[in-house]
Amino acid sequence: MNRYRRLSLLIISTAAILLLAACSQSSEANKGTQNQPTQQATTKVAQGKKKLTIGIVNAPVTLNQINTQDNSASLAPIGLLNDALLDVTESAEFIPKLAESIKTKDKLNYTIKLRPDAKWNDGTPFTTADVAFTLKLALHADVETSFKLNFIEGLNDFGKLGKGVKEIAGLHVIDKHTFEIKAKTPIDPLVFNERFGAKVYYLPEHLLKDVDPAKLSTHPYFQKPDVTNGPYRFAAYEQGQYVELTKNEKYYLGAPKIDSIFFKVLPAANLVAQLQTGEVHMNSLPVGLVPITDYDKVKSFDNVNVTSASASEPAELFFNVEKLPNKKVRQAIAYALNRPLIVEQLLKGQAEIIDGGIPSSHPYFNKDITPYPYDPEKAKQLLQEAGFDSSRKLAFLIPIGNKVREQAADILVQNLEAVGLQIDVQQYDFPTLIDKVEKGEHDITIFTRDYYIEPSLYFTTYKSDDPESVIRYNNPVVDELIAQGEQEIDEAKRHEIYNRLQEVLHEDVPTLAVYSEKRLQVVSKDVLAGKPLNVGTFNNVNEWDLAVK
C-alpha cells in the first residue's frame, strides 16, 4: 500500500512540476512584454484607440535599418519606423521625405538639402551629422550592410571602405542641413534616387556614437530600435508572431492618425480567413500575398475592397545554358509552354504574359517584344531540328513555398512532356535549391526575382564572368550591351541599349518569364485611407485613417 501511495504521489508531483514550470515560464514571458511602458499605454486605453493590423505571411527577420538583408518581410516594418530621403510611389516616382531637394548639374555631384524640421522621435533634430555618422559606420569594413553604394567616390567595388579607412572621399558635409555626394563616374539620377535616396536609412548618432563597429550588429538597439525618424515608433517585436508599432507624436510631417499598427505573421490560408473575420485589415505586398486561387472567395467578402496591383515581377524559368547550349532547344521550351492556360485557369486572369524578367510596368520594359505563343507543333519541330536526344532527362528544380508557382510548375512539366521531353521534377526548400543550382545540378529551375527600379540590376545575372551564375550564360554581345548600359547616363540612349539587350535575350532565351501576377490588394472597408503598394512599401502612412467603431 505504502508503495502505491508513493507512486501516485510521484505521478501527481510530476504533472504539477511540469505545469508549474510552464506557468511560471509563461507568466515571466508575459511580464517581459508588459513591463514596456508603450505596451502598457496601449493596453490601458485600448478601446478608443485606432489599431490597424496588416497581415504578412513571412516573418520579418530583422529590424536593422542599415542591414535589412533585403528581406522583404523586414522591409515593411523598417519602412514605417524609418524615413529615407525619398519615398517611392507605386508608379515608381520619387517624393521627398527627409530631403527637401536632391539636385545635380553634372550627374556627378549631388547636393542634398535636408528638411530643417526633420527630427528623431526623441525630439533630437535629424541633421547631416547623422547622415555622415550612418554612412561612415555602415560602410566601415567590419560592418554588414545592405546599402549598395559602390558608385560613391572612395568606396571599393562592392561599396565598402577599405580596412582602416575612416573617411568617405565622396561625402562632403556643407552645413547642418546640406551635404554633397560625389560619384566615381556620372550616374543616372534615377539610380542615385533609388540606391541613395530611397534605400538608405539612418542611425541616431546621439545614441550610437560610441559603439564598436565590429560589435554593431549584435547591439541591443537593433533588437529594440526605439529611436527612429519615421511616422511610427517601435513598441514590441515577437519574432514569428507580430511587430507592434505606435505612432510617433513628434513626426515632422504631422502625427499619424492611426494609433498603432500591427504586422501580424500568419499562414496564407489564415490570412484569407482573418481578412474575412476582420482580425486583419489589409495584406502586405509582396510578403502577404492573398493566394490568387482565392480570388473569387475574397471578392465575395462584403467587408473588404479588392483591387489588383499592376503586373509584378514574374516567376521566371532559368535555364542552365551549359547543359542546354542550343538556343533552339530553349526556344522549343518557350513554344511548348501553355502560359495562357496558367493565366486564365490558375490565376483567374489576374496575370500577364511577358518573356523577359522586367515587369511591364517598369520604365525600361521593351514593349515591342511579342511573347512566344503556345505552339507545341513548332516546339516539336525545333527540338527535331536541334537533334535533341529525347531520352535525356531534364532536371527541373522547383522551390517549395509558393503554392501558385508550384501548381504552375506542374502544368509546365505536363506541357514539356507533351512535346516529348522527359522531365525529372525535384522539389526543394529554397536554401537547398540554391545550393544545387549554384553547383549547376539543374537543367531548368524557376523562381522570382526582386523588383529593381534601376534597370541594370536585371541584367547582372546574364554576365559571363560569374562562375556560380544560375544560368552559366556566355554571350559577348550581351556582355558588351550590359557594360554600355551600366555606363550610359543619357536616358534616351540607355533606353535604346536596354531595348536591344532585351531583344537579344528574347531571341536567346537564357531565362523565360512564365507569368506576372497582378497581386491582390485586399483592404478592409474600415480603412478610410491607405493601402499596400506593390513594391513592398507604404506611402504617407501618417495620413492613413481608420473608421472608429
Partner 1 sequence: MGSYIVRRLFIAVPVFFGITVLSFLIMNLAPGNPVDMLINPNIPKELLELKREKLGLNDPLYVQYANWLGGILRGDLGYSFSSYAPVSELIGKRIGPTLLLAAASLLIGLLIAIPVGVISAVKRNSKLDYFLTGMTFLGISIPPFFLGLGLIYITGIQLKWLPTGGISTLGGDGGTGDVLLHMILPVTVLGAAIAGKKVRYVRASMLEVLDQDFLRTARAKGLRELVVTNKHALRNALIPVIAVVGAEIPLLLGGSIVIEQVFQWPGIGQLTMEAILSRDYPVLMGLNLIAACVVLLINLFTDVLYAAADPRITYG
Interactions with partner 1, residue window 144-183 (CB under 8 A): 144, 146, 148, 150, 157-160
C-alpha cell at 65: 535599418
DSSP state of 59: P
State which residue, 167 or 238, has the beta carbon closest to partner 1.
238
Among 93, 117, 424, 429, binds partner 1 (CB under 8 A): 429
Judge whether 93 and 231 are in contact, CB under 8 Å: no
Q: Is 450 in the site for partner 1 (CB under 8 A)?
A: yes
C-alpha cell at 66: 542599415
Q: Is 317 in the site for partner 1 (CB under 8 A)?
A: no
State how far the Cα of 47 lies from the Cα of 62, in Å rounded to an integer: 30
Per rule CB under 8 A, count of chain residues that contact partner 1: 84
State how far the Cα of 412 lies from the Cα of 13, in Å rounded to an integer: 59
Q: Which of 260, 308, 307 is nearest to 524 (CA)?
A: 307
Interface residues for partner 1 in 54-113 (CB under 8 A)? 59, 61-62, 64, 69-71
State which residue, 143 or 342, has the beta carbon closest to partner 1.
143
Q: In the complex, what is the shortest distance from the CB of residue 457 to partner 1, in angstroms, rounded to a whole number?
A: 5
Interface residues for partner 1 in 465-504 (CB under 8 A)? 466, 468
State how far the Cα of 30 lies from the Cα of 76, in Å rounded to an integer: 26
Q: In the complex, what is the shortest distance from the CB of residue 223 to partner 1, in angstroms, rounded to a whole number?
A: 6
Q: Is 367 in the site for partner 1 (CB under 8 A)?
A: no
State which residue, 8 or 391, has the beta carbon closest to partner 1.
8
Q: In the complex, what is the shortest distance from the CB of residue 415 to partner 1, in angstroms, rounded to a whole number?
A: 27
Interface residues for partner 1 in 388-427 (CB under 8 A)? none
Give ∠ CA 15-16-22 in degrees, rounded to 5: 95
Q: Is 303 in the site for partner 1 (CB under 8 A)?
A: no
Q: Is 18 in the site for partner 1 (CB under 8 A)?
A: yes
Judge whether 357 and 533 are in contact, CB under 8 Å: no
Interface residues for partner 1 in 222-241 (CB under 8 A)? 222-223, 238-241
Stretch that binds partner 1, among 140-148, 185-193, 301-309, 500-508 (CB under 8 A): 140-148
**Long-range pairs for 436-443: beta carbons < 8 A, 24 or more residues apart:** 436/397, 437/318, 437/397, 437/470, 438/468, 438/470, 440/320, 440/322, 440/323, 440/472, 441/395, 441/397, 442/318, 442/320, 442/395, 442/396, 442/397, 443/319, 443/320, 443/323, 443/324, 443/394, 443/395, 443/396
Among 91, 277, 414, 487, binds partner 1 (CB under 8 A): 277
State which residue, 31 or 367, has the beta carbon closest to partner 1.
31
